[in-house]
Amino acid sequence: MTMRHRNAARGDTRLYVSRTDKLVAGSWVRLSMDNKVSNSLIMDLNSGLIPADAATANKNNLVQLNTRVVAVSGTAACLLT
């Protein structure tokens, strides 16, 4: 497990983390993202096709996404998009 080192902007494929020693190209990672602000992350991840309402809200305000690591360099992990 590692924590994000700095914020990622929409469209970024590189995630900066506090440590990369256990991340290798080809491995799978699970991103756990905060969805506390009016369920807006769910809406953004689905191009606005899913409404940000109580029916789609996660009770833990958490969105998880599995993805592959493409490359690792320094404190950056490049993720498959």
- Kindly report, residue by residue over 18-64, the tens digit of the pLDDT: 888 888 999 998 887 777 666 666 666 666 666 655 555 555 677 77
Tokens of 27: 């491995």
Question: Which range has highest mean pLDDT (8-12, 14-18, 52-56, 68-72)?
Answer: 68-72
CA-to-CA separations, 24 to 12, 15, 30, 55, 70, in angstroms, rounded: 19, 13, 14, 37, 8
Q: What is the pLDDT of residue 60?
A: 64
3-state secondary structure of 14: strand
